[in-house]
Amino acid sequence: MANAPQEKARIAVLASGAGSNAEALLSHFAEGSGAEVADVVWVCTNRRGAGVRARAEKFGVEESHIPKAEMTTGALLEALQRRRIDWVALAGFLLKVPGQVCDAFEGRMVNIHPALLPKFGGAGMYGMHVHRAVKEAGESVSGMTIHFVNEQYDDGDIVFQGEVDLRPEDAPEDIAAKVMELEHRHYPQVLEGLIRLAQGTDVRDRTHLKSHMR
Ligand code: GRF
Q: What pLDDT, in 10s, does the model give residues 95-123?
A: 999 999 999 999 999 999 999 999 999 98
List Cα–Cα distances, 16 to 7, 22, 28, 48, in angstroms. Answer: 29, 10, 20, 9
Which residues are bridge partners to 146 per DSSP?
112, 160
Other Cβ atoms within 10 Å of 151 Cβ, number? 13
Rg (Cα) of the chain, in Å, rounded?
17
Lowest-confidence region among 11-20, 179-188, 199-208? 199-208
Whole-number Å distance, alpha carbon 81 to ligand 1 midpoint, is 25
For ligand 1, whether the C-beta of 21 sits within 6 Å is yes
Instruction: Name the active-site residue from 113, 131, 147, 186.
Output: 113
113 a catalytic residue: yes
9-198 is classed in which CATH architecture?
3-Layer(aba) Sandwich (3.40)
Task: Render pLDDT for 46-86 as a digit per residue (tens, 0 to 9).
Answer: 999 999 999 999 999 999 999 999 988 899 999 999 999 99
Identify the residue whose C-alpha is closest to ligand 1 atom 6. Answer: 92
CB 13 within 8 A of CB 89: yes
Q: Which atom of ligand 1 is nearest to the CA of 94?
A: 10
SS3 assignment for 66-114? CCHHHHHHHHHHHHHHHCCCCEEEECCCCCCCCHHHHHHCCCCEEEEEC
Whole-number Å distance, alpha carbon 106 to ligand 1 midpoint, is 22
Element (H, E) at 11: strand 9-15
Q: Which atom of ligand 1 is nearest to the CA of 114?
A: 4
Whole-number Å distance, alpha carbon 176 to ligand 1 midpoint, is 10
